[in-house]
Structure 1
Amino acid sequence: MPALPGFTDNPFQTRDDLVRASIALIKPLERYRSPQRAFIKLSTDTAAGFDEVAAQLEGFARPLWAIASLLAPGNSADGLDLDIDSWVCGLRAGTTPACSEYWGDLGNSDQRMVEMESISYALLMAPEAFLSGMDALSRENLETWLRQINARQIPRNNWRWFRVLVNLALGSQEEDIVAHDLNVLDSFDLGEGWSSDGLWGDERKQVDYYSGSFAIQFARMLYVRFMEDRGLASHDRNRVERYKQEARQFASAFWRYFDVDGSAIPFGRSLTYRFAFAAFWSAVALAGVQLDAPLDNIGVVKGLLFRHLRWWRKHPGIFNTDGTMNIGYAYPNMFLSENYNSPQSVYWCLKSFTIICLPKTHHFWTAKELRHPLAVQILPALQLLDEVKLLWPPRHIICNGRSHHFLLSAGQGTTKAHRAREAKYGKMAYSSFFGFSVPSGPLLEQLASDSTLTVSLDGGEQWIVRANPFDVRHRQIPIIASDGTAKIDEVTRSVPSLVSTWRPKKAIEFQVQTILIPASDLWSGWHFRIHRVKWSPAAIVPGIIKLVDAGFAASGSTKTGILVAEKELKRLLDQNSAGMEGWGKDEQSCLILSDCSASGVVDLQRELMSAPCSGYGKLATEKAALVVRADANTNLITQRTLVPAIQNTLVAETGLKTTAEVWLATGIFAVSKTSGIGMKEVQKLWFKRPTIHVAAKTEEEEGVRIMLP
């Protein structure tokens, strides 16, 4: 894909840089605007699940995040290569019922409600710029169109913020509606500053960027900014101060999702909004919220925002040949998209550019950009200090490590019909470098089931991926010293873990309890998964279960662009061949070396020290390492990928009335290109792994320990 001048060549260091980038993103839209300027329809002729009028309204409304910020009081519109008057014309035409470009009346749960948020932001941030060119009738039409939202049913999720902001922009007296919506929104709180996107329950367990940067936390900061601008009543002051405190709490964890190179760990839905990942950093700065250490210096926040934008400038694949943005992540990808993504939807990314509402003299712009809080200079690159952090509200363990930046996840999921929902919420690990993969079909290669469990209960004809785990909890896993005879000398330290249970089918007696264990700084590049598999042999015919435990999806292409070929594993692990690219496997492990990175898996079952499984009849376990050549364009970041995995085939005698049980253990290894770690050290890290000790205790308590060599 071609570069976009003004964005892909942008240093992203100053306010002028962000202004130039915002104009570069908006200018290509001009050729697709309707005669009266109320619609934008890009040339990509794909559709969203809502009507086409609303889709083209998206095209008009979403650029307003940047345009209104450029026109904020104290900023000059002089020299901006934008036809500002045309946006006022579009606003006037779209809200005039007699006009051919009228945006239409609202229905219940209407997509038009979403686009009212950016329109309300424009009226709040730059009222003079948008209203001075309107006569009394046009203003009345605008108000009437916006006010429809108060008479319509609206989902109990982040959309409630759109109605709050509409009423704030109108100076509305609909206090009962606003108060009710705010109470509904506050009911989504999970503690520690986190919010779910809707009430947390069996149907919806979503704590992602949507409830962070994309919508809820972002909207809270707008509410703080504009409520303080107009003066606060006493009852409003308490809520504003609470939102500020919760923003501090949220920020104290949210920065951990960003790597030293600016990349964020992709997780959840709507990832085509791309650099909206960083919108919270813009919003918290424009709201003037003083954050806690290590973010108490505004230069740290500035660095988190700017580095993220600099990461995206390295990915010109996000642009079409005409300079508009496409649906996808690092390249065009419809497998990733949601049913509500029109070609114009992607411009929600401009929420991150709201920071340009701050004038040049603001201390955000004059402050020195500072490093990531965990960054240290280890030549040839900046690297993260090793740190493992449990974040319970999102059910994540963030692994900020010198080898790899990723998270472990258990407990999120949704029954809503989001495309690839199992991939977006149900995987066990998500990486800022390797990304994750979404399915293109039902076959194992098409499922591209990286970083997750995939099970077949019919011998391999049909596959089911992990989703919606339950009985989720966290616990500490001791790291113990051993004299080589499994004797425990002393407990030296511990690491947090996530424990959860998954049932592929409710009607079949088969379940997997999984313990996800980060490796901490002792075993750089690793994390571990312990699976306790229980099933009724009588319920599964023909009695053959296949369970695939997969690692991170690695690039399937070499530096020269050819496909990564199979090689003898011993050759790959030979330090004299440190520059070699390829993949290899043996009876218990598989390793892929490509694009200066590594991804591998090891079956730890042979090294697993455990109490013997109870005698539940005849039980056979077969194991094999394999490389899954995933369908092209299933991974978010890399078009061609290979997925290392361990396949366990479980065969139990049929007709038994008792339950069968087996313990499985997998080591997952990954070193990212951005870590700067050379292949010789990667080969050393591959062999540096612990022994896992399991002593089954009760149904509620697992005696799992990691043993130092």
Structure 2
Amino acid sequence: MNASAVLLPPEDRELSPYTGWTRAHWVAVAEHLLLSVRPYASPRHARIDLPGPASSSGPDSDGLEGFARTFLLAGFLVAGNGGDDPHGFLDRYRSGLVAGTDPESRERWPRPDELDQAKVEAASIALVLMLTRPWLWDRMDSRERGRVLDWMSAVVGESYPPINWVWFQIVVEEFLRSAGGRWSRADIDAGLAVHAGLARGEGWYSDGSERSYDYYCGWALHFYPLLWASLAAEPPDRELIEGWRRDLARFLEDYIGLIGADGSPVLQGRSLIYRMAAAAPLWMGAWSGATTLSPGRLRRGASGILRHFHDHGALDGGLLSMGWHGAWPAMKQSYSGGGSPYWAAKGFFGLILPADHPVWTAREEPLPSDAEGVQRAVRAPGWILSAPSGDGIARILNHGTDHAHEGDVRTDSPLYARLGYSSATVPPLVGSTLDAPLDNSVAVLDADGRATHRTGFTALGVFHGDAVSTGGSRWRAHWIDASTDTGRDHGSGRRGTARPGPILEVWSAVRGADEVRLVRVGDEPVPGGRRRWRLRVGGWPVLRERGPGSTVEALTGHSGLVSGTEHLGDVGPLAGETAVPWVCADVAPGEVLACLVRLGTGAADAPRPRVGLDEEGATVTWPDGAAARIALPG
């Protein structure tokens, strides 16, 4: 197989009118990825040492990660083919299992009680051993199995952070139980209790106690429960399983709207280098039947995601780099290493379903972003989801997520705390805006032009009316000097010395591609004898030479009103120079600044809504009469 390009079968536009891709395309990409990593395997195949910067866990961990995550892909492929393995994938991984768990081997893996990251990778290994049992585990001799069980058993009684990680312990101990190893019911029960505590309603889970809503909700917190329950020697109570099924079904009703017509998921949250792992909850819906979405719509979403990354160069020389489309190392989190992007394997879970499953045989049906459009309030993460008909872009306006607790004082995490995210834009991930937020922000500027942050805000809720959705949040604007924070990057903003500013209350009135952003400044007097605060409203970060347009304009009059566009250079992974429009105005305590913020083709030419202000709030009215009333009491 050519190491630089995937050999794809012909498109099938009758079965797949939107993507042209079928199960055969998924198989071709999976095989290509697996064959392409072979040159990076150690002599006995226990490590796959892939190019890229090392993680904070070190090269031994990264080599294990390369093994475990590609093993996950091989497992889905072989299991879905009923054990057919013409490339001999499982033989190579068997060799690696034997060497990696041999304490005398030069390729031995760090044990889960020696290195935390091994706890993560052990779960992928355990899961594949359960899914491919007749073709791998049952063919290992007793000595080989004993070493694997000994290595795995190091998870028993270990402490796991109360996030998606608890599922790694549950899955490993379920395998240990099934194979006659040591396991702990208390560990499994404790993990299930943590999972239950992460539920936030309407199918959504937060990945921890913070307001951490991101793709981990789908590719971890919805991925493992039903799969584990199907493998468990003693499945949990039927009521619990049915609750998980309802949660997944409800979650997917929102989730399907987060995919753009070009197949790009909304760029929000950490670990985006896992790319097509975003397809995992769609396949889980198909596999479990726990969804109201049709098989054709599920495959349209999943195949759209895979084709998006394929067509945009994510399979660079057959390898998944640290980036989004191509390599863009600044997307790295501290825990990321060369093997990390292969958690993308979760997005191939659909291969476990045979070729005659309805998800593969049904005709593709459109996404919301393809045809009818969607606009809804997603209450748990505090998002207004908008993908207008014919627009092709999925957007969220964010009034509930910041990867922090209410009252925290930190810098704004670019991938969590912005007011908006979309499938066509990405916040600047390097440069000055990390310390002075610009894109999709409302900030107070000090005398030196430094902008405040909003992390720790109070969420005021998101709501959907007949045609207009609204959402709001309130916070004490704060400047942060985070120069002394050298901690690991796990997605949160940074801590530092804080200087408080005024209270800001911000509301979004959303209709299609339009957001009317209303900003009320608190009544506290401005320090230093000044009469007004200098406010800046930043718009969507767009590429200067291609893609959708971005506009911001004031709808209310204020002194010092000025607008412009900041050209930031190559600050994101979408391959081009980023530009962000903005409006600045001087606003007195108690006053309201209203701005129109738009993202989309023809954004500059569409008719404008108007804003009427009175003592109790604002009325936003579009030219066709659609309106929303927002209370902004003094």
CA distance in 2, matches of 1:707, 1:385: 20
The aligned counterpart of 2:251 is: 250
Give the match for residue 396 of structure 2.
407
Q: Secondary structure at the match of 1:147?
A: helix
Contact 1:425 1:467 in 2 (8 A): no
Q: Which shifted more, 182-191 or 451-460?
A: 451-460
1:374-393 matched pairs, under 5 angstroms: 374=368, 383-393=370-380
Tell me whether 1:629 sits opposite 2:567 in the alignment: yes
Alignment of 1:411-426 (within 5 A): 411-415=400-404, 422-426=413-417
Report the number of matched residues.
587
Residues 359 and 707 of structure 1, relative CA distance in 2, 3 Å threshold: closer
* 8 Å CA contact retained: 2:321, 2:327: yes
Q: Partner of 1:534 in structure 2? A: 522
> How far has the Cα of 1:628 moved from its partner?
0.5
2:270 matched to 1:275? no
Instruction: State the alpha-carbon separation in 2 of the partners of residues 357 and 58 from structure 1.
Output: 22
Once the two structures are superposed, the pairs formed by residues 7-26 of structure 1 within 5 Å of their partners are 13-26=21-34
> Compared with structure 1, are the counterparts of its residues 509 and 158 closer, same or farther at alpha carbon in structure 2 (3 Å cutoff)?
same
CA contact (8 A) 2:249 2:285 kept: no
Q: Indicate the RMSD between aligned Cα atoms, in angstroms.
A: 2.8
Confirm whether residue 148 of structure 1 aligns to residue 167 of structure 2.
Answer: no
In structure 2, what residue type is equivalent to 1:40? I
Question: Is structure 2 residue 194 aligned with structure 1 residue 187?
Answer: no
Q: Does 1:511 align with 2:503?
A: yes
1:135-178 Cα shifts (integer Å, max 9, x gaps): 21221111121111122111010000101111111226522221
Of the three residues 626, 645, 648, the one matched with 2:585 is 648
2-side partners of 1:186 and 1:141: how far apart? 33
Please list, as runs of the form range in 1=range in 2, the aligned pairs for 1:342-361 lying within 5 A after superposition.
342-361=337-356
* Equivalent residue in structure 1 for 2:224, among 219, 233, 242: 219
Structure 1 residues 511 and 75, CA, compared in 2 at 3 Å: closer, same or farther?
A: same
**1:165-564 counterparts in 2 under 5 A?**
165-171=171-177, 173-199=183-209, 204-212=210-218, 214-227=219-232, 235-286=236-287, 288-292=288-292, 295=293, 297-316=294-313, 318-320=314-316, 322-372=317-367, 374=368, 383-402=370-389, 403=391, 404-415=393-404, 422-433=413-424, 435-442=425-432, 449-460=438-449, 462-475=450-463, 495-505=468-478, 507-520=499-512, 525-534=513-522, 536-537=524-525, 539=527, 545-557=533-545
1:664 pairs with 593, 596, 614, which one?
Answer: 593
Deviation at 1:261, TM superposition (A): 2.9
2:547, 2:340 → 1: CA distance? 34
Distance 1:408 1:467 in 2: 15
The answer to whether the Cα contact below 8 Å between 2:526 and 2:533 also exists between their aligned partners in 1 is: no
Please give the secondary structure, in 2, of the residue aligned with 1:424: coil
Amino acid at match of 1:495: V
The separation in 1 between residues aligned to 2:71 and 2:82, in whole angstroms, is 15
Match of 1:30 among 27, 31, 38: 38
Residue type of the alignment partner of 2:203: G
Q: Which residue of 2 aligns with 1:572?
A: none
CA distance in 2, matches of 1:629, 1:162: 43
1:504 partner SS: strand
Whichever residue aligns with residue 289 of structure 1, its letter is G
Provide the rounded CA distance (Å) in 2 between the counterparts of 1:396 and 1:311: 24
- Which shows bigger deviation, 236-245 or 388-397? 236-245
1:414-473 C-alpha deviation (Å, 9 max, x unpaired): 2499x996211111111112x2223423368x967322224322341x333433321432
Unaligned runs of 5+ in 1: 376-382, 478-492, 558-594, 607-619, 653-659, 673-678
Q: Is the 8 Å Cα contact of residues 411 and 455 (structure 2) preserved in structure 1?
A: no
Identity %, equivalent residues: 23
The 1-side partners of 2:579 and 2:25 are apart by 38
- The one-letter code of the counterpart of 2:584 is Q
CA contact (8 A) 1:475 1:499 kept: no
Once the 2 structures are TM-superposed, how far is the Cα of residue 349 of structure 1 from its aligned partner?
A: 0.6
Q: What amino acid is the match of 2:230?
A: R
The answer as to whether partners of 1:472 and 1:500 remain within 8 angstroms in 2 is yes
Contact 1:509–1:536 at 8 Å: present in 2 too? no
Output the CA distance in 2 between the equivalents of 1:399 and 1:64. 37
For residues 8 and 442 of structure 2, the distance between their equivalents in structure 1, rounded to whole angstroms, comes to 39
Q: 1:145 to 1:103 in 2, by over 3 A?
A: same
- Structure-1 separation of matches of 2:523 and 2:568: 29
- Quote the offset at 1:684 in angstroms: 4.2
CA distance in 2, matches of 1:13, 1:519: 33
Asked whether the 8 Å contact 2:156–2:183 carries over to 1, the reply is no
Measured in 2, the distance between the counterparts of 1:386 and 1:694 equals: 30
Deviation at 1:73, TM superposition (A): 6.9
Equivalent-residue separation in structure 2 for 1:517 and 1:647 (angstroms): 20
